[in-house]
A = this chain, B = another copy of it.
């Protein structure tokens, strides 16, 4: 019997109908030109012929006399027909219908009586593409690792047959493990003799230190309220070239531009609802601290940066400067922390949800940020699966009480794919944020041209 690590257990203990604790992904694929009517069904059949499941895909919380235990058990047999489902979109099969469908799937709790993952092959898109919606429980995997796992099923070879099976991927080759997962980090902490309490204390210190650099505490907004049980998902793709143009013209970073773009969109969304606070919104941004000239390949340097989004500023260029200055200063704060503290925060930040849920965090009073914006590492080259080209890969994360919307993005070839997930009651018109993101990027382009 394997005990569930404390952080992972949190996602099980605190899960409820209102707070499903799974990370999701919505991928869009363009089938090969010679794909027939039966392509997708045969594809699924091919995958399902592989009945071998790696431990992560066989794990479920153990029960004893019907009561849940803080331990994992491994199912010897997995009902793959249940876990890998087919579904379809109603006519006319537009992206809107796909998002309605994904929102329904993302709102439903996983069954704890079987391994906690599902994949849904979705057909019926009018443009001939198909979608794969995947979800895994956050106690099994963090968002970064989930994206990486999905990427590892793909190949750069458009003509490769014998598609890899997500639940039976070969072990990671050694050279790919530079970005250590959560367990690696927690292992490192355990080796350093750090307890969860110490870890919490370090995290608090890290966040409080950063707050000192901010002009104000995070204001209360309409985004920071208790949430309901229904989700709305909204996704869109932007060309990386556009972001990079702004970055070059302004001497900032890709992350700065993405944050400024989000800041402008949030400002417009809140203005539209007459709900923009006087004080600027604060974002929490998991971010790598490694510089380009950092040759120390050993340390994992991921920090929970607090970022002043400058939503009180009308001018887009001034807002970008506020964002850029804020991330720069809080990176400095991290550099001043000792390495255990950095490590602790990094461990937590692979699971930003954990930070919000942890009791020590609640003791800080109001959360020190209004929204989590994550940029998850993605693929640089075009990728394929069974001859189908990956068109887009949208991460779908977890809103929480007090954090009614989440923005997560990832790179895919020459694109940046944004995945927004919100509480449907709080943000019934979440798709408006997409239009505001576009307007916000255009404003940055105009101002920096």
* A41 x B109 contact (CB < 8 A): no
Q: Interface stretch among A80-88, A165-173, A305-313, A389-397? A: A80-88
- The interface bits of chain A over 210-231 (1 if a CB of B lies within 8 angstroms of the residue's CB, else 0) are 0000000000000000101110
B-chain residues with CB within 8 Å of residue A88 when the two chains form the complex: 87-91, 124
Nearest B residue to A109 via CB reads B17
Stretch at the interface among A99-107, A144-152, A278-286, A358-366: A99-107
Pair A226/B66 contact, Cβ less than 8 Å: yes
With A85-B100, A90-B86, A424-B79 as given contacts, are A229 and B112 in contact (CB-CB < 8 Å)?
Answer: yes
Give the oligomeric copy count.
2
A108 sits at the interface (CB 8 A): yes
> A179-196 CB contact bits vs B (8 Å, 1 = yes)?
000000000000000000
- Bound together, the chains give a CA A91 to CA B93 distance in angstroms of 14
Cβ contacts A57-94/B at 8 Å (1 or 0 each): 00000000010000000000001001001111111000
Contact at A111–B229, with CB atoms within 8 Å? yes
Q: Is there an interface contact between B66 and A113, defined as CB atoms closer than 8 Å?
A: no
Quick check: B82 and A113 within 8 Å, CB to CB? no
Report the minimal beta-carbon distance from A119 to chain B, rounded to whole angstroms.
13
Complex contact B401–A66 (CB within 8 A): yes
- Distance A401 CA – B87 CA, assembled complex (angstroms): 29
Chain B residues in 8 Å Cβ range of A229: 109, 111-113
- Contact in complex: B107, A111 (CB < 8 Å): yes
* 0/1 interface trace, chain A 1-35, chain B, CB 8 Å (1 if under): 00000000000000001100000000000000000
Q: Are B91 and A37 in contact (CB-based, < 8 A)?
A: yes
Bound form: Cα–Cα A88–B100 in Å: 12
Contacting residue for A228 out of B18, B107, B113, B230, CB 8 A: B113
A228 near B114 (CB under 8 angstroms)? yes
What is the distance, in angstroms, from A250's C-beta to the closest C-beta of chain B? Answer: 41
A residues with CB within 8 A of B: 17-18, 37, 41, 66, 79, 82, 85-91, 97, 100-101, 104, 107-109, 111-114, 121, 123-124, 226, 228-230, 401, 424-425, 428
Cβ of A230: which chain B residues have Cβ within 8 Å of it?
82, 111, 113-114
Nearest B residue to A111 via CB reads B229
Chain B residues with CB under 8 A of A425 = 79, 113-114
Do B113 and A79 touch (CB < 8 A)? no
CB-CB nearest in chain B for A18: B113
- A-B contact list, 24 entries, CB within 8 Å: A18-B113, A37-B91, A66-B226, A82-B230, A82-B424, A85-B100, A85-B104, A86-B90, A87-B89, A87-B90, A88-B89, A88-B124, A90-B123, A90-B124, A91-B123, A108-B108, A108-B109, A109-B109, A111-B229, A112-B229, A113-B228, A113-B230, A113-B425, A114-B230
A86, B82: Cα distance in complex, Å: 22
* Chain B residue nearest to A79 in the complex (CB): B428
Find the residue from A85, A90, A91 having the highest chain B CB count within 10 A. Answer: A90
Bound Cα distance from A228 to B17, whole angstroms: 16
Given contacts A79-B425, A85-B104, 9 further A-B contacts (CB under 8 A): A37-B91, A79-B428, A85-B100, A87-B88, A87-B90, A108-B109, A112-B229, A114-B230, A124-B124
Instruction: Tell me, in angstroms, the Cα distance from A424 to B109 when the chains sit together.
Output: 16
Which residue of chain B has the shortest Cβ distance to A231 in the bound complex? B111
B112:A17 contact, CB within 8 angstroms = yes
Q: How far is the CB of A117 from chain B (nearest CB, A)?
A: 13
- Closest beta carbon of chain B to A403's beta carbon, Å: 14
Residue of B nearest to A41 (CB): B91
Give Cα A87 to B108, complex, Å.
Answer: 16
Residues of B within 8 A of A79 (CB): 424-425, 428
A126 to chain B, nearest CB (A): 12
Closest to A44 in B: B90
Q: Which B-chain residue is minimally distant from A122 (CB atoms)?
A: B90
What is the CB-to-nearest-CB distance from A72 to chain B, in angstroms, rounded to a whole number? 16
Complex formed: what's the CA distance from A37 to B114 in Å?
A: 40
Chain B, residue nearest A225 (CB): B66
The chain B residue sitting closest to A63, CB to CB, is B226
A37 to B90 alpha-carbon distance, docked (Å): 12
Closest chain B residue to A89, Cβ basis: B88
